[in-house]
Amino acid sequence: MREENRRFALAERPQGLIDDNTYDLETDPVPEIGEGEALVRVRWISVDPTNRTWIGEEPTYLPPVQIGETMRALGLGEVVASNHERYPVGALVNGLTGWQDYTVASDSNPLMVVPDSAKAAPPASLLGILGMTGCTAYFGMLEIGEPKEGDTVVVSAAAGAVGSVAGQLAKLKGARVVGIAGGPEKCAWVIDELGFDAAVDYKADDWRQQLKDATPDGIDVDFENVGGEIMDAVFARLNIGARVALCGLISGYNAEDGRPAGPASFGNLLIKRVKLQGFIILDYYDRFGEAIRQLSEWMGEGKIKSEQTVVEGFENLPHALNMLFKGENKGKLVVKLD
């Protein structure tokens, strides 16, 4: 058992991508637990674009991480000592563990106990397709996007954790699915492995033309993860009655001036009578069970696939977060702690 608790504490708010000055690596004693508490050894950390929004100046849907505080993140851990009956020793737990080796679960800092039926799943899946990631794709695509047979659905960040699942769900509903991803390898992957109908390489000079060619009948659903000029181009091609599931705007999360330009094609939302709905997955917390059961079933039947990129080693957490914004992951990005 590791005798110290390493943790990354926020040292300064970054401008643009995080760098060596963003976090301090601190080493503290392992926490001692009191009555009603359980000690959790964190094993896996989920790396999500939204993490970057939590260290800006402005509150988002959660308060900003404060200077000196441990970086907030979802993770998966194991109960190693316990004074709380809900958290027996050996239980797997899932929740906001932060970037650290140990956390303390209690009624005031609750974690979700992974049910026995799910313990056989790979840990990366529990943080990915069978966790918040899968739930985000599920509710965003099926309840907001509402793809129908014959619809053209565009998914940005299509090779990412959420996008790769969201696109597969739209395929299950009979839609034509176009993924936007960075580079020929990812574009080939979403078509060949995930079954998308077409892909647009946003790193190619002719990406606008590729988008037109891939959506000859316009766009009925935009599952929006990226924002910026790609979203602008997608908005310009929306059909009458289209839906936009506004899930993320990662192109702006590292903006240095904090005021990314809005979409110049905004007016098309009016002309085409578009419904746009912003959503944060925590609002669906009460319904996670339903989503995870359905996703498990589809995975078991081979109807959807899950992919992950695993980075090894605690000290690589900050680097892993930047990987998301450089497009260096495929599917769910997780860090396995040593």
> By the criterion CB under 8 A, which residues form the site for a copy of itself?
60-61, 227, 232, 240, 246-249, 252, 259-267, 269-280, 283
Nearer to a copy of itself, 109 or 265 (CB): 265
Q: How far apart are CA 305 and CA 255, in angstroms?
A: 33
Among residues 53, 48, 113, the alpha carbon closest in space to that of 78 is found at: 113
Q: How far is the CB of 276 from a copy of itself (least distance, A)?
A: 4
Q: How far apart are CA 55 and CA 276, in angstroms?
A: 27
Nearer to a copy of itself, 118 or 255 (CB): 255
Q: How far apart are CA 178 and CA 259, in angstroms?
A: 29
User: DSSP letter at 189?
Assistant: H
3-state secondary structure of 152: strand
User: DSSP letter at 286?
Assistant: G
Q: Count CA atoms closer than 13 A to 125's CA, side-chain side.
A: 16
Nearer to a copy of itself, 39 or 250 (CB): 250
Q: Count CA atoms closer than 13 A to 12's CA, side-chain side.
A: 9
Q: How far is the CB of 277 from a copy of itself (least distance, A)?
A: 5
Q: How far is the CB of 242 from a copy of itself (least distance, A)?
A: 9
Q: How far is the CB of 265 from a copy of itself (least distance, A)?
A: 7
Q: How far is the CB of 224 from a copy of itself (least distance, A)?
A: 9
Q: How far is the CB of 261 from a copy of itself (least distance, A)?
A: 6
Q: How far apart are CA 255 and CA 62, in angstroms?
A: 19
Q: How far apart are CA 133 and CA 120, in angstroms?
A: 18
Nearer to a copy of itself, 103 or 268 (CB): 268
Question: Under a CB-based contact definition with an 8 Å cutoff, are residues 291 and 139 in contact?
Answer: yes
**Amino acid making up residue 225:** N
Largest Cα separation within the chain, whole Å, is 63
Nearer to a copy of itself, 67 or 261 (CB): 261
Q: How far apart are CA 18 and CA 12, in angstroms?
A: 9
Nearer to a copy of itself, 114 or 324 (CB): 324
Nearer to a copy of itself, 39 or 144 (CB): 144
**Amino acid making up residue 115:** P
Whole-Å CA distances, 220 to 127, 172, 198, 240? 30, 16, 15, 8
Q: How far is the CB of 282 from a copy of itself (least distance, A)?
A: 10
Nearer to a copy of itself, 99 or 139 (CB): 139
**Count of C-beta atoms within a 10 Å radius of residue 80:** 17
Q: How far is the CB of 252 from a copy of itself (least distance, A)?
A: 6
